[in-house]
């Protein structure tokens, strides 16, 4: 399967699902789509740029400082407020979830601690449980994506960022884990690939 076919398939799996059945943007005024920093964006997964070969005018794709594997640069997608929702990148489709690989290289889908500063669903997962269909679709998408070695290598690098963010949250927001409830601390859906 080419990268384009792979990403078309996972975009399709994630097309009709959202984190809540209701519009979660009403809880936060769409905080994840608004950033005071003009250069803030979302990392593209390896090869995902094929989905933007005719780059729409609302999207800039740039090299980020983040690397994975053997020093491969990661691209970042920066949107303007004229974005088309149906063309949003994978990282936006799965937010506030993320794939995470532990030290034994077992992958699971977890609530992304990098989402905590902006996303009420990540801060209060017990008050706002994610829609099961959304979690299932994200798990299904990553069962497919995990067959690609380059994508696995990227997820491994991202997992290092997640560990660092967890460490910072535990240091500077000591109530963070206490308020999240036992069930929501670890993997939402632990799956091995
Ligand atoms: S920040 Fe969280 S709650 Fe707000 S729109 Fe994004 S996913 Fe939904």
pLDDT in tens, 5-62: 999 999 999 999 999 999 999 999 888 887 767 678 899 999 999 999 887 888 899 9
pTM of the predicted model, to two decimals?
A: 0.87
Contact predicate 64/75, CB 8 Å: yes
Sheet strands side by side (includes 107-111)? 97-101, 107-111, 189-190
pLDDT at 176: 61
pLDDT in tens, 151-172: 999 999 999 999 998 888 888 7
Residues 6+ apart with CB under 8 A from 55: 61
Whole-number Å distance between alpha carbons of 60 and 39: 9
Q: Where are the alpha helices (DSSP H) in the chain?
A: 3-14, 25-28, 90-94, 120-123, 132-145, 149-172, 175-178, 182-185
CA of 148 from ligand 1 middle (Å) equals 29
Q: Which residue has the tokens 């994978």?
A: 90
Looking at ligand 1, which atom is closest to the CA of residue 128?
3
Instruction: Quickly state the pLDDT bin for 185 (edges 50, 70, 90).
Output: very low
Q: What tokens does 70 get?
A: 């053997």
pLDDT at 141: 98
Q: What tokens does 50 get?
A: 């094929």
Looking at ligand 1, which atom is closest to the CA of residue 23?
8
DSSP 8-state symbol, 164: H
């Amino acid at each position: 399967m080419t990268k384009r076919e792979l990403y078309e398939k996972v975009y399709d799996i994630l097309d009709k699902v959202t984190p809540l059945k209701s519009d979660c943007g009403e809880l936060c005024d769409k905080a994840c789509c608004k950033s005071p920093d003009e250069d803030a964006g979302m990392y593209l997964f390896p090869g995902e740029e094929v989905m933007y070969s005719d780059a729409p005018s609302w999207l800039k794709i740039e090299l980020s400082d983040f690397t994975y594997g053997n020093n491969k640069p990661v691209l970042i997608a920066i949107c303007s407020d004229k974005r088309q929702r149906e063309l949003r990148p994978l990282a936006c489709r799965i937010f506030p979830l993320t794939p995470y690989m532990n030290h034994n290289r077992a992958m699971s889908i977890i609530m992304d601690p990098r989402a905590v500063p902006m996303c009420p669903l990540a801060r209060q997962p017990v008050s706002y449980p994610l829609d099961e269909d959304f979690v299932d679709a994200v798990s299904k998408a990553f069962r497919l994506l995990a067959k690609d070695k380059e994508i696995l290598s990227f997820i491994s690098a991202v997992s290092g960022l997640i560990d660092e963010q967890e460490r910072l949250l535990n240091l500077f927001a000591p109530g963070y884990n206490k308020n999240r409830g036992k069930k929501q601390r670890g993997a939402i859906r632990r799956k091995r690939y």
